[in-house]
Amino acid sequence: MKKNFEEEIKRRRTFAIISHPDAGKTTLTEKLLLYGGAIHLAGSIKSRKTQRHAVSDWMEIEKQRGISVTSSVLQFDYNGCRINILDTPGHQDFSEDTYRTLMAVDSAVMVIDAAKGIEAQTKKLFAVCKERNIPIFTFVNKLDRYGKAPLDLMEEIETVLGIRAYPMTWPVGVDGQYRGVYNRLEKTIELFAQDNTHGQKERESQKYPFPSDEAAAVLSEEDYSNLEFDIDLLDTAGEKWQPEKVAQGKLTPMFFGSAMTNFGVQNFLEEYLRLAPPPQPHMSDKGIIAADNPEFSAFVFKIQANMNPAHHDRLAFIRICSGKFTRNMPVYHVQRDKEIKLSQPQQFLAQDRQIIDEAYPGDIVGLFDTGTFSIGDTICEGKEHFKFADFPIFPPEKFARVSAKNTMKRKQFMKGIAQLTQEGAVQLFEQAGLSTESYIVGTVGKLQFDVLEYRLKKEYNVDIDIVMQPYEVARWLSYKDGSPVTPESLKGAERGMFVYDIVKRPVLLLNNEWALGWILNNNPNLILHETPKE
């Protein structure tokens, strides 16, 4: 029984794919599903551009392929491994949602467009992974087209991201017409057959040892000697293979391929599963909690409502950190200080969503939520209760006044806004002295306003007006002597906007850091807080 539990943990791989939009994250995800046998025919996913920022990229896969996932996680088996891929929003703005998702993974795959190299969004997402020391694997995509030279890409990763790269594979042939990949650990080349299916099916290939006479017989003299030269260079001048550095997030194993034409994808998947870490321990206020700790524990990293528009349901996604999860098990909800039962847990297999009976560390489970959960909550079993480390809160930087176009829809508007606030998508403020016909909404990125507009329309049938406000910083306010902060007592309050957050804490919105300095200088009794003070 114990052995089974440990094996279940060891075979799990929970990760996210991160990339700049258009680098190929969706295509690669789809191909991993194809190779995992979770879908049988991959199709090029067209015309997804129009809505991409508002919905999960996977919803597009779902639409195109008829898979009913609409979820934040895909689960499937490959080579004995149980894979959990977590979706990260595919839009330009860095969002808290992405950060929270990365709190729930054990490793990340970074997809880079071979022609474009490291792009802005990749850099931001990478920084989050690095801060958390998450092992990062690199997949250089679009090798079927002309791109930057592999050595230049390696250097770019090292100089722009500040992480050393260890190529696990290396392209064979000439740029734009690569024929296959060399596998450095196996010392083989894999040459791919012509792709006649436009990437819809697994690509046929043939392996040869390298260097060898067999390889010399199938490669041109030039390709052969170029490859020999490159490999020699990597072996002598490149980084040494150090798996412990990969585990610490200090060395990224690098793979080359084309998600669209299924070139190098299987190679990547297999090596990745072999090297990627199984469920890792998590820090709590009572010390480190190992995955094989027999008592169940998990944290909520995401809340999403209306995943199924027909039911208006709300799911809290938990990442299991230790112990075995069973349906109907009683657990202790630490933040609420009460026992709860986990009934109707949902898990997401590639084909559909189903009620599950058990799950293990590394797994993501969706729980029906009637308002019990908040992001960052811990649930655990056993006598000694503990709390996992808090999620970071990002101070909002964009603000807008938001109101319903049609005042008759005020009720739905309030309901929708409250829901999205609870999900952590936006932060809500009320302007001091104003009625609640309109709210001030704060977000980390501008794009969240598009999402807000889209979701209020789609899920609550409310059209809204959004008027951007000129503020860029928010500070929660308190006085050193403990007296209440009011608009009247604060000198210069009119230089910004005095608002209250949803639990009525005073907040000042200001244009810039300079204005902050002025306020501080003129209110010696004042303390400014970047995040809400308990």
What is the maximum alpha-carbon separation in the chain? Answer: 86
- What distance in Å separates the CA atoms of residue 175 and residue 151, rounded to the nearest whole number? 12
Stretch that binds ligand G4P, among 140-148, 342-350, 447-455, 459-467 (CB under 6 A): 140-148
Among 10, 14, 16, 27, binds ligand G4P (CB under 6 A): 27
Instruction: List beta partners, residue 509.
Output: 474, 497
- What distance in Å separates the CA atoms of residue 82 and residue 26, rounded to the nearest whole number? 20
Among 101, 141, 183, 322, binds ligand G4P (CB under 6 A): 141
- What distance in Å separates the CA atoms of residue 444 and residue 232, rounded to the nearest whole number? 47
Residues 255-294 that bind ligand G4P (CB under 6 A): 258-260
Shortest distance (Å) from residue 19 CB to ligand G4P: 5
Among 14, 19, 98, 448, binds ligand G4P (CB under 6 A): 19
Shortest distance (Å) from residue 325 CB to ligand G4P: 31
Residues 6 or more apart in contact with residue 512 via CB below 8 angstroms: 472, 473
391 neighbors 100 (Cβ within 8 angstroms): yes
Among 26, 71, 205, 293, binds ligand G4P (CB under 6 A): 26
Extended beta strands in 114-210, E state? 136-141, 164-167, 169-174, 177-183, 188-192, 205-209
Q: Which is closer to ligand G4P, CB of 25 or CB of 324?
A: 25
| 354, two tokens | 């189903």
Residues in the interface with ligand G4P (CB under 6 A) total: 20
Q: Is 96 helix (H, G, I), strand (E, B) or coil?
A: helix
Instruction: Determine the residue type at 525.
Output: N
Q: Is 518 helix (H, G, I), strand (E, B) or coil?
A: helix
Ramachandran angles phi, psi of 521, nearest 5°: -60, -35
- What distance in Å separates the CA atoms of residue 400 and residue 417, rounded to the nearest whole number? 13
Stretch that binds ligand G4P, among 142-150, 268-276, 394-402, 491-499 (CB under 6 A): 142-150
Q: Which is closer to ligand G4P, CB of 177 or CB of 461?
A: 177
Shortest distance (Å) from residue 121 CB to ligand G4P: 9
Q: Which is closer to ligand G4P, CB of 141 or CB of 297?
A: 141
Stretch that binds ligand G4P, among 44-52, 182-190, 444-452, 526-534 (CB under 6 A): 44-52
Q: Which is closer to ligand G4P, CB of 257 or CB of 345?
A: 257
Shortest distance (Å) from residue 330 CB to ligand G4P: 41
Q: Which is closer to ligand G4P, CB of 260 or CB of 485?
A: 260
- What distance in Å separates the CA atoms of residue 399 and residue 466, rounded to the nearest whole number? 10
Q: Which is closer to ligand G4P, CB of 125 or CB of 380?
A: 125
Stretch that binds ligand G4P, among 97-105, 137-145, 203-211, 425-433 (CB under 6 A): 137-145
Shortest distance (Å) from residue 25 CB to ligand G4P: 3
Stretch that binds ligand G4P, among 40-48, 155-163, 281-289, 320-328 (CB under 6 A): 40-48
Of 471, 464, 467, 493, nearest in space to 405 by CA: 464
Residue 382: CA count within 13 A, CB half-sphere: 18
Shortest distance (Å) from residue 61 CB to ligand G4P: 9
- What distance in Å separates the CA atoms of residue 105 and residue 196, rounded to the nearest whole number? 36
Q: Which is closer to ligand G4P, CB of 24 or CB of 496?
A: 24
Instruction: List beta partners, residue 346.
Output: 355, 366
Which residue, chain included where needed, has tokens 């991160």? 18
Residue 21 contacts ligand G4P per CB under 6 A: yes
Among 4, 44, 68, 326, binds ligand G4P (CB under 6 A): 44
Residues 222-261 that bind ligand G4P (CB under 6 A): 258-260
Instruction: List beta partners, residue 443.
Output: 398
Extended beta strands in 262-337, E state? 282-284, 287-289, 297-305, 314-322, 325-326, 330-333
Which residue, chain included where needed, has tokens 């894979």? 83
312 neighbors 364 (Cβ within 8 angstroms): no
Residues 432-471 that bind ligand G4P (CB under 6 A): none
Query: Contact letters (x/-) for ligand G4P, 59-98, by CB under 6 A?
Result: -------------------------------x--------
- How many other CB atoms sit within 10 Å of the CB of residue 6? 13
Of 49, 68, 48, 60, nearest in space to 309 by CA: 68
Q: Which is closer to ligand G4P, CB of 22 or CB of 155?
A: 22
- How many other CB atoms sit within 10 Å of the CB of residue 34? 20
Q: Which is closer to ligand G4P, CB of 22 or CB of 453?
A: 22
Query: Contact letters (x/-) for ligand G4P, 324-363, by CB under 6 A?
Result: ----------------------------------------
Residue 119 contacts ligand G4P per CB under 6 A: no
Residue 25 contacts ligand G4P per CB under 6 A: yes
Stretch that binds ligand G4P, among 121-129, 136-144, 189-197, 445-453 (CB under 6 A): 136-144
Q: Which is closer to ligand G4P, CB of 107 or CB of 258?
A: 258
Residue 306 contacts ligand G4P per CB under 6 A: no
Q: Which is closer to ligand G4P, CB of 18 or CB of 300?
A: 18
- What distance in Å separates the CA atoms of residue 377 and residue 149, rounded to the nearest whole number? 46
Among 8, 57, 106, 369, binds ligand G4P (CB under 6 A): 57
User: What number of residues does the chain have?
Assistant: 534
- What distance in Å separates the CA atoms of residue 153 and residue 56, rounded to the nearest whole number? 29
Which residue, chain included where needed, has tokens 């919905």? 55
Shortest distance (Å) from residue 303 CB to ligand G4P: 24
Contact residues for ligand G4P, defined by CB under 6 A: 19, 21-27, 44-46, 57, 90, 141-142, 144-145, 258-260
